[in-house]
Chains A and B, each alone.
Chain A
């Protein structure tokens, strides 16, 4: 919880969460909803982690900037996150594109903020915290904001050391001994390694604290140029030469030894991050009472499980699930999942309301919300057959979306 000193700086901070990405690489899970609304971990949606970080950091003025396919996200935020009192100037508001400036969708991350600069004018915060709504991690933002103030920075970028091979998809920075950013390149083909380790690169996490005046000044300049209007591609590289950009080393609030920050950008990464949660000591700690992850799920009755199998069964089970004399192993059962007798389910992520009939064999699959799998179906057993019926990831995870007939 924030101390008295930090509560003042948090009051002077406005948070803007970019939640408008299409999440094309998570298709078909993003066919009908934005990436931040994609379910995760049995009962959450991806944006819950960012919003819980805000809540646990003491941030109470939050705008969620939506765009594509926002109705599921809107509904979730309304049901699960209407927890602040706007009369006390505490809120989580969703804002779809207003087309106040342009008649187009947001052209880039910087454009998304610039098109909503009227929000900054009305709120007049000293600092603006800009976050993505599509990463899974725990972080106390108040410490980063304090660091930003201590440095007298115009912009502070949260960073994390990543294997250099993966850095080609991220913003990579070089820093001096005082953590001042002296170089920044978005998605470099040859990422620069850290001074200490040639196998690691220092990557931006897409988490920014701006001094508001600097933010508006740079956004206003960028708006008059024909750029990608993107923080990583344009704003940050432009600002680096001014000397006012600092890097903040990610200090996670995960209460274990794993530095956990995941961009659940690909279906394989999505599957792996979910299945990791069933391990005895998951990398991502959902069970820390000092850092609760908030969400909304409809009311269900308690789960009733008749799992019949030899040996260990490691399963994450939400409420309202019924398992009738079936085998379930290394799987995530979201609310209201039903598994019929004689079925065998393993290494699978079953979303809310999935219904699996009798004697089904289901292995290494992601099953979308509300899908019914008829009795005697086999999925994840014969790859050739699966490829004819469903899409399959490079690592062999079968994706079963809504709305296709299953025989």
Chain B
């Protein structure tokens, strides 16, 4: 039985995107990664709502970069996944794999 609560779908996508981006993960790059790889066009406000939730749970940590003129003098907020976040992601993936084991999820197989 898992000690942590399993991650939601959007939380999982956010954590994977941050891991993929390594130390370049901030609002714009996370949004672009979600569009490019998950075909999910999410508003940046929704991304920060999810990140705020993940930060409260201790799954991500953030730090501020330097302000740039292109951003109207506002600083980038970079995110990184914590060890707790990686564990939560692993547990979620294991749960999904265990649950879907033996199921035929191909598009041709109908469950209706």
Question: Do A and B associate with each other?
Answer: no
